[in-house]
Amino acid sequence: MSKTPISSAAFGDTKPHYMILDGLRGVAAIMVVWFHIFEAYATSHLDQKINHGYLAVDFFFILSGFVIGYAYDDRWKTMTVKDFIKRRVIRLHPMVVMGAVIGAVMFYFQGCPVWDVTKVTVAALLLATFVNALLIPATPGTEIRGLGEMYPLNGPSWSLFFEYIGNILYALIIRKFSTKALAVLVVAAGCGLAAFSIFGPYGDICAGFSLTGTEFTGGFFRLLYAFSAGLLLSRVFKPARVRGAFWKCSLLVIILLAVPRLGGADRLWMNGLYDTVCFALFFPLIVYWGASGKITDRYTNRVCKFLGDISYPLYMVHYPFIYLYYGWVKNEELTFGESLPGALAVVVGSILLAYICLKLYDEPVRRYLANRFLKSKKR
């Protein structure tokens, strides 16, 4: 295993952690940015380029379950539920606030035929910013963009809503499960998610961004299966010998998330089956291989550290710029080739912004909050 002693940026304590998994999280986050960029040219999921980028969320949930199980399963004799929740809020919430603020600042620059932001009052925008910063979901028909999103200022915040649900379920209930009981939960949730994927209305599991029945059901099954599967993997994990784990796993993540849509409108089940194979087989294997691998050179170590550092900030700050890019493409009726310089600017600019937010905001704020509110005085 490649473990490097660092502060608790990932786990809420000083336990060593898996650098390769950090790097893979960053690779998946960059693929999410590209997936969202290509939304500007899609009419539906059926013709979306970088088609399966939405599966990165399920990969993130599995990673989250794995690292939380590794970091906290053996600490409950000395840690309370309140302590755990405080650690997770300190780890996650500063970037939730930042994403909401950036989304609010850029809101009026994002108008296009799909949504007319000029009709939104400043008071409504301030209220939306406040509830987004608190991670309170907007209900369909009441949010300011008119697309039914939980978080119209920063769409990806929906997955943090479910991440918090997973953390609360873990602290109150799931951590107490025996390994066998946890395995039963994983199988049951996996069957539910597979049924949604193969037989559901979309032919995929790209669901969860709204509080509507179908969206919430899909999002909850995604969280419950993937988070629990990661926890289970952390309990039964025995490392194997995997050479070049980061580079091999990174390539596999990129391929799996970029595969074109399968089956078309007439055979939705085919794409649903692909999603099922990814979340049930490939993603747990990638986490297993990544956790088993060793970093043997400085270059790979630096790459993994950088990607791990910017992964969460990148995920949380890029989408307001996707709204801007989307509006630009629609207003100017641009092809992808014509807007490629803008797309590259969004990707590179989002990475730079994520790093700036990490160093000048996220890490200092988390350090302050940890010193202020955690008994151990550790992040």
Instruction: Tell me the pLDDT tens digit for each residue of 172-193.
Output: 999 999 999 999 999 999 999 9
Q: Identify the band that residue 376 occupies on the pLDDT scale cut at 50, 70 and 90.
A: low
pLDDT band at 44 (very low <50, low <70, confident <90, very high): confident
pLDDT of residue 268: 95
- Position 15 scores a pLDDT of 66
Residue 251 above 50 pLDDT? yes
pLDDT at 8: 39
147 confidence band (pLDDT: 50, 70, 90): confident
Query: Could you give the CA distance from residue 287 to residue 276 in angstroms, rounded to a whole number?
Result: 16
Q: What is the average per-residue pLDDT within 346-364?
A: 98
Do residues 95 and 132 lie in contact, with contact meaning Cβ atoms separated by under 8 Å?
Answer: no
Looking at the predicted structure, is the pLDDT value of residue 12 above 70?
Answer: no
Instruction: Kindly report, residue by residue over 292-330, the tens digit of the pLDDT.
Output: 999 999 999 999 999 999 999 999 999 999 999 999 999
Read off the pLDDT of residues 118-142 as tens digits, 9 standing for 90 and up.
889 999 999 999 999 999 999 888 8
> What's the pLDDT at 4?
36
Would you say residue 69 has pLDDT above 50?
yes
Please, what sign has the CA dihedral across residues 207, 210, 211, 213? negative
Cα(76)–Cα(301) distance, integer angstroms: 32
Direct distance between the N- and C-terminal alpha carbons of the chain, in angstroms, rounded to an integer: 23
What's the mean per-residue pLDDT of the chain?
93
- Name the range with the highest mean pLDDT among 44-48, 239-243, 360-364: 360-364
pLDDT band at 58 (very low <50, low <70, confident <90, very high): very high
Of 58-62, 111-115, 326-330, 341-345, where does mean pLDDT reach its minimum? Answer: 111-115
Stretch 56-83: mean pLDDT: 96
pLDDT for 1 beyond 80? no
Q: What is the pLDDT of residue 10?
A: 37
Confidence of residue 378 (pLDDT cuts 50, 70, 90): very low
Name the phi and psi angles at 188, rounded to 5: -65, -45
Q: Which of 154, 151, 3, 173 is nearest to 71 (CA)?
A: 3
- pTM equals 0.93
Cα dihedral 122/125/126/130 (nearest 10): 170
Q: What is the pLDDT of residue 14?
A: 54
* pLDDT of 92 above 50: yes
pLDDT band at 9 (very low <50, low <70, confident <90, very high): very low
Neighbours of 248 (CB within 10 A): 15
pLDDT score of 3 more than 50: no
Above 90 in pLDDT, residue 100? yes
Tokens of 161: 């809503």
Q: Which amino acid is at 58?
A: D
pLDDT at 117: 86
If you average pLDDT over residues 249-276, what whole number do you get?
96
| Residue 11, pLDDT score | 36
pLDDT at 34 over 80: yes
Which of the two residues, 148 and 194, has the higher pLDDT score? Answer: 194
